[in-house]
Amino acid sequence: MASNSLPRRAARHLFTAALIAVAAAWSGGAVTSQSNIVCEENRCQLSGRITSDTTLTANNVYLLNGAVFVEAPARLTIEAGTTIYGQSETNGTLVISRGAQILANGTAAAPIVMTSDQLVGERARGDWGGLIINGNAPLNVPGGEAEGEGDTGVYGGTNPDDDSGHLYYVRVEFAGTEFSPDNELNGIAFQGVGRMTEVDHVMVKLNKDDGLEFYGGTVEVKHVVCFAIADDSFDWTDGWQGKGQFLLALQMGDDADQGIEADNNGDANDLTPRSNPAIYNLTLIGDPYEFPGSESDIGILLREGTAATIRNFIVTGFKEASIDVDHAATFEQIAGGALTLGSGLINDNCSVAGCQGEFRPDSDDAAAAISTVDFVSGSTDIHIGVDPMIGEAPSDACLFCPYSLLHPERNFRPRVGSPAANGQVRPSMPPNDGFFDAIGGTFIGAVGPVGSGEEDWFAGWTDWSLK
């Protein structure tokens, strides 16, 4: 074998896009090289730094050997149907550096998959690093720039219109490798990413840390699924002022924290620009009943001075509470009208010993002019203790749908008579700003009823397998 061909040890763990056959050897065939990509037949290894425009094609499979950085001004284009494996033994990770772009052109029929190099049935959270995108959009940290976790590069700047590329129909699976004790990478980290970056139809599943985390920036995301995330499904901090619509999270009780963990800045709660995203059409589901565990804690945790607009939401199935507000700076956002909720269904979020109902009272509530309970119950069109009636109806085969991971037809749609779609809860119309889809103002939750056009946006390109 030529000296620049792929190592046999790495090849033993790389399997084909069909996820069936294992490439047992790399011998035979021509060896080609472009930048830091070395290919033998249809098997390619990426390493180091990519400094020129590069395209990954669906007729090859790719292995990330260590942290692979796409450097400015290079663009990494990924064809529909391409599979990229993160090498476990080297913590394979894909980093889009500030000023570079990722152009991920998946489709519903041919999504782009970034996944573990371990065999099907042996894959697990934390097998590899994940996807990190660094942009030039504003942060609220001193100096306006920060270094990404796990040495993933500098991010942040002064351009809210930063364009770091696009992600269309992309799955990131079994990622979140540990880079220091008790510190893991996120499935997709948007670090100072701007609003000209397009993110539509993305799934992160079985990540060891957060699913999607937003570190400042203004990026806007649509049609996102987080499944079986070991930390928070969605997390924002350091001044994220983006938008989200049609966001869905389903957790597992073996290892999970919040559906949303929302911060402004942990060191100084009132730094600006303040975290203040607008979220419409959100469904957060705690752990499935047939996979018992003590985790999956709080549906929405608002803290450290965050502001936000959250509308048309469902929170159900969390162990400790549906919504919790912490820190005086956060309650100040409520008092000033910068942190608001509206049009929501909250149900079945207290199932562990010691929980005190749908909301968690604490010392911050006592010190504030308004409590978490008063904040939520006083918000417009919030219905507490009302079954949202989403997914398949309970039956002998599926007692706790849509919590059940075993049901063959997971759909999350409002059933006939659901208060999420029959007008019992009045939906909020999103702004007509070129990002939000108006149809989201006709139902509650991330998934619409049959006939809405948003009833099956997650079908076909997602994958719910656990190993």
pLDDT digits (tens, 9 = 90+) for 121-150: 999 999 999 999 999 999 999 999 999 988
List all residues 6 or more positions away from 183 whose beta carbon is below 8 Å from its beta carbon. Answer: 149, 150, 209
pLDDT for 287: 80
pLDDT digits (tens, 9 = 90+) for 280-296: 999 999 886 656 666 77
pLDDT for 10: 39
pLDDT for 410: 72
Mean pLDDT, residues 176-192 taken together: 89
Among 23-37, 71-85, 367-381, 384-398, the range scoring the smallest mean pLDDT is 23-37
pLDDT for 291: 61
Q: Where residue 4 falls among pLDDT bands split at 50, 70, 90?
A: very low
Percent of the chain topping pLDDT 70: 85
Mean pLDDT, residues 367-381 taken together: 86
Residue 376 has pLDDT above 70, yes or no: yes
Among 13-17, 137-141, 200-204, the range scoring the smallest mean pLDDT is 13-17
Among 348-357, 368-377, 418-427, the range scoring the smallest mean pLDDT is 348-357
pLDDT digits (tens, 9 = 90+) for 294-324: 677 899 999 999 999 999 999 998 988 999 9
pLDDT digits (tens, 9 = 90+) for 425-446: 999 999 999 999 999 999 999 9
pLDDT digits (tens, 9 = 90+) for 25-83: 322 334 444 558 999 989 999 999 999 999 999 999 999 999 999 999 999 999 999 99
Q: In this predicted model, which residue has the larger pLDDT, 124 or 399?
A: 124
pLDDT for 18: 30
- The per-residue pLDDT of the chain, averaged, comes to 88
Task: Compute the C-alpha angle 323/218/130, nearest 5°.
Answer: 80
Q: In this predicted model, which residue has the larger pLDDT, 298 or 408?
A: 298
pLDDT for 127: 97
Mean pLDDT, residues 225-235 taken together: 95
Tokens found for residue 352? 């562990």
Distance CA 35, CA 27 (A): 21
Which is it for the CA torsion 128, 178, 192, 224, positive or negative? positive
pLDDT for 380: 94
pLDDT for 25: 30
Residue 112 has pLDDT above 80, yes or no: yes
- Per domain, the residue ranges of the chain are 31-442
Q: In this predicted model, which residue has the larger pLDDT, 394 or 18?
A: 394
3-state secondary structure the chain: CCCCCCCHHHHCCCECCCCCCECCCCCCCCEEEECCEEEECCEEEEEEEECCCEEECCCCEEEEEEEEEECCCCEEEECCCCEEEECCCCCCEEEECCCCEEEEECCCCCCEEEEECCCCCCCCCCCECCEEEECCCCCCCCCCCEECCCCCCEECCCCCCCCCEEEEEEEEECECCEEECCEECCCEEEECCCCCCEEEEEEEECCCCCCEEEECCCCEEEEEEEECCCCCCEEEECCCCCEEEEEEEECCCCCCCCCEEECCCCCCCCCCCCCCCEEEEEEEECCCCCCCCCCCCEEEEECCCCCEEEEEEEEECCCCEEEEECCHHHHHHHHCCCEEEEEEEEECCCCCCCCCCCECCCHHHHHCCCCHHHHHHCCEEEEECCCCCECCCCCCCCCCCCCCCCCCCCCCCECCCCCCCCCCCCCCCCCCCCCCCHHHHHCCCCCCCCCCCCCCCCCCCCCCCCC
The residue written with tokens 């100072």 in the block is 192
Residue 183 has pLDDT above 80, yes or no: no
Residue 7 has pLDDT above 60, yes or no: no
Residue 416 has pLDDT above 50, yes or no: yes
Cα–Cα separations (whole angstroms), residue 350 to 226, 293, 296, 366, 399: 22, 14, 11, 21, 19
pLDDT for 181: 75
Rg (CA), the chain: 22
Among 16-30, 178-192, 315-329, the range scoring the smallest mean pLDDT is 16-30
User: Would you say how long the chain is, in residues?
Assistant: 467
pLDDT for 295: 75
| Other residues' Cβ atoms within 10 Å of the Cβ of residue 311 | 26
pLDDT for 30: 44
Under 8 Å between Cβ of 164 and 101: yes
Residue 9 has pLDDT above 60, yes or no: no
Q: In this predicted model, which residue has the larger pLDDT, 310 or 15?
A: 310
Q: Where residue 24 falls among pLDDT bands split at 50, 70, 90?
A: very low
Cα–Cα separations (whole angstroms), residue 371 to 330, 361, 375: 11, 8, 6
Among 6-20, 41-55, 85-99, 417-431, the range scoring the smallest mean pLDDT is 6-20
Distance CA 323, CA 313 (A): 12
